[in-house]
Amino acid sequence: MSRTYQNYIDGQWMPALDGSTTTDKNPANTEEVIGVFALAGRADAARAIEAAAKVFPAWAKMPMPKRGEILHRAAALFEARADEIAEALTREEGKTLAESKGEALRGAMILRFFAGETMQPTGEIYPSASANTFLYAERVPTGVVALITPWNFPVAIPTWKVAPALAYGNTVVFKPAELTPLTAWHLVDVLEKAGLPPGVLNLLVGRGSQAGQEFVENPLVKAISFTGSNVVGARIAAQATARGAKVQLEMGGKNPVVVLADADLKQAVELTIAGAMLSTGQKCTATSRVIVQREILDEFRDRLTDRVATLKVGNGMHPDTYMGPLVSADAEQGVLNYIEIGKAEGARLVAGGVKLYGDEYDRGYFIAPTVFDRVTAEMKIAQEEIFGPVLAVMEARDFDEAVRLANHTQFGLSASVMTRDLGLALRFVREIEAGIVHVNSQTAGAEPHVPFGGFKSSSSGGREQGKVAREFFTQIKTVYIDPSGA
């Protein structure tokens, strides 16, 4: 019998009002059930929102450093549980245990960072035009905030939304992706054990179209922070902003690596593969295009395909696995469809391109790491986010054409250039349309204390992570005080 997990509403762990459940399975072996989770509907979400609204005034009034103490305790508990959380992450999402461990420890760092932020200044004092006026602007909480997160970083993304939301005095309704509820459960369980009062944080495992939709429409929700696909993000933004709610969106990417003729090719190959294939290419910052200067194209492609052929694909729990499964049958089918599209568009398949079969693979969603070359700018596989282990190799005549190609998509999340020429590196940094830029590092690296987010249709509504997270999770009260009679 697998364990049953409940939703957390107003400080109580409870089943769904209509008794619905969802079963969490391992994408590396779908016979392995990870847990059965209460599946919240709209009525459950409405209840949670009311609970969060009810306790908001008290939570907002609690001294900020006191809120910080809870986050500090949660960071310690989370870190102590890192191995268990990492295993849960690998088993429900599929990424390798090493990646999961890194993400679990990062969760603890994020909690600690925002605990620290509760001791930071909360506003600014300004000079006033009137001699007696004390003029300042203070950051104050927003109210009930709704957090909607995807399955691909089910520890890091929820943590980097929940921690600042709480630190700055908001109460929270949180809906993780239905595919990854166990990691979300750990985060909420840890925060409860750290002493969070009832109602301040509510967990609803549910479908986007049900619990998620209630978040979008309920007037008690004052702000929504969403990470996920562009299609869903656009719909949420249209509906929520129409009723005056604040919206933050982190969405897709089509992140390029540009390899210039003078690059260290061995390093460029390794970093391109890490960016493209770790987490099975299911990172918003994954490398999906590598744009290579003509002089080195053949050598780069040969080295790349040789190396890709050596990557070990398998269950993420095995220590020698480089790349795990896709997260779900739908995700697997979506990637296989794009592989067919790439072939039909006339790109040349030079590695992978197939579903994997055999004892190790038959019960999971495994696709071989895939590389296309002769990919041109207007092909769908050069324009659309595939969200899987598929890399498009593109040719550029020179630096200018490489940057033009790199910028030629609707997205602008992350980008990387491989070169030893400092002048060209700095030109790339200036000319690339991306919110995160790397020189000689992979597109997917992101440290936990710095702004995170993209240009163009990758993001909107303010950056996440680090100090800048405060922008979204607070509002500003500007105060003019004239001590009358003074």
**Angle between helical axes of 422-431 and 399-407 (0-180°, round to 10):** 30
Give the largest CA-CA distance in the chain: 85
Contact between residue 245 and residue 267 where contact means Cβ atoms under 8 Å apart: no
Residue 28: exposure state from Cβ atoms within 10 A (0-12, 13-18, ≥19)? buried
Q: How far is the CB of 318 from ligand NAP (least distance, A)?
A: 25
Q: How far is the CB of 38 from ligand NAP (least distance, A)?
A: 14
Q: What are the catalytic residues?
A: 250, 284
Q: How far is the CB of 345 from ligand NAP (least distance, A)?
A: 21
In this structure, what DSSP letter does residue 212 have?
I
Is residue 240 involved in binding ligand NAP (CB under 6 A)?
A: no
Stretch that binds ligand NAP, among 50-58, 101-109, 151-159, 194-202 (CB under 6 A): 151-159
With CB under 6 A as the contact rule, the residue among 212, 369, 448, 466 that binds ligand NAP is 212
**Residue with Cβ nearer ligand NAP (149 or 443):** 149
In this structure, what DSSP letter does residue 244 have?
T
Total residues interacting with ligand NAP, rule: CB under 6 A: 30
Secondary structure of 61-130 as H, E, C letters = HCCHHHHHHHHHHHHHHHHHCHHHHHHHHHHHHCCCHHHHHHHHHHHHHHHHHHHHHCCCCCEEEECCCC
Contact between residue 347 and residue 372 where contact means Cβ atoms under 8 Å apart: yes
Q: How far is the CB of 377 from ligand NAP (least distance, A)?
A: 21
**Residue with Cβ nearer ligand NAP (158 or 342):** 158
Stretch that binds ligand NAP, among 1-9, 49-57, 226-234, 420-428 (CB under 6 A): 226-234
Contact between residue 341 and residue 307 where contact means Cβ atoms under 8 Å apart: no
Task: Tell me which amino acid residue 144 is.
Answer: V
With CB under 6 A as the contact rule, the residue among 183, 227, 279, 419 that binds ligand NAP is 227
With CB under 6 A as the contact rule, the residue among 78, 113, 153, 473 that binds ligand NAP is 153
**Tokens coding 481:** 């005080």
**Angle between helical axes of 265-277 and 297-309 (0-180°, round to 10):** 50
Q: How far is the CB of 284 from ligand NAP (least distance, A)?
A: 3
Secondary structure of 94-105 as H, E, C letters = CCCHHHHHHHHH
Stretch that binds ligand NAP, among 206-214, 260-268, 363-371, 399-407 (CB under 6 A): 206-214
Is residue 213 involved in binding ligand NAP (CB under 6 A)?
A: yes
**Angle between helical axes of 82-93 and 181-193 (0-180°, round to 10):** 160
With CB under 6 A as the contact rule, the residue among 150, 316, 324, 353 that binds ligand NAP is 150
Q: How far is the CB of 381 from ligand NAP (least distance, A)?
A: 16
Q: How far is the CB of 254 from ligand NAP (least distance, A)?
A: 9
Contact between residue 277 and residue 322 where contact means Cβ atoms under 8 Å apart: yes
Question: Can you tell me whether residue 272 is helix, strand or coil?
Answer: helix
CA gap 263, 261 in Å, rounded: 6
Stretch that binds ligand NAP, among 78-86, 248-256, 367-375, 424-432 (CB under 6 A): 248-256
Question: Can you tell me whether residue 270 is helix, strand or coil?
Answer: helix
CA gap 458, 252 in Å, rounded: 5
Stretch that binds ligand NAP, among 55-63, 201-209, 366-374, 391-399 (CB under 6 A): 201-209
Is residue 232 involved in binding ligand NAP (CB under 6 A)?
A: yes
Is residue 322 involved in binding ligand NAP (CB under 6 A)?
A: no
Q: How far is the CB of 17 from ligand NAP (least distance, A)?
A: 18
Looking only at residues 457 through 476 of this chain, which bind ligand NAP when binding is defined by CB under 6 A?
458
Is residue 175 involved in binding ligand NAP (CB under 6 A)?
A: yes
**Residue with Cβ nearer ligand NAP (102 or 123):** 102
Q: How far is the CB of 209 from ligand NAP (least distance, A)?
A: 5
Is residue 278 involved in binding ligand NAP (CB under 6 A)?
A: no
CA gap 232, 212 in Å, rounded: 10
**Residue with Cβ nearer ligand NAP (285 or 293):** 285
With CB under 6 A as the contact rule, the residue among 92, 103, 192, 250 that binds ligand NAP is 250
Strand pairing class (21-26; 370-373): unpaired
Looking only at residues 336 through 375 of this chain, which bind ligand NAP when binding is defined by CB under 6 A?
none
Contact between residue 170 and residue 49 where contact means Cβ atoms under 8 Å apart: no
Is residue 438 involved in binding ligand NAP (CB under 6 A)?
A: no
With CB under 6 A as the contact rule, the residue among 46, 71, 165, 251 that binds ligand NAP is 251
**Tokens coding 335:** 């990637």
Residue 341: exposure state from Cβ atoms within 10 A (0-12, 13-18, ≥19)? middle
Residues that bind ligand NAP (CB under 6 A): 148-153, 175, 177-178, 207-209, 212-213, 216, 227-229, 232, 235-236, 250-253, 284, 385, 387, 413, 458
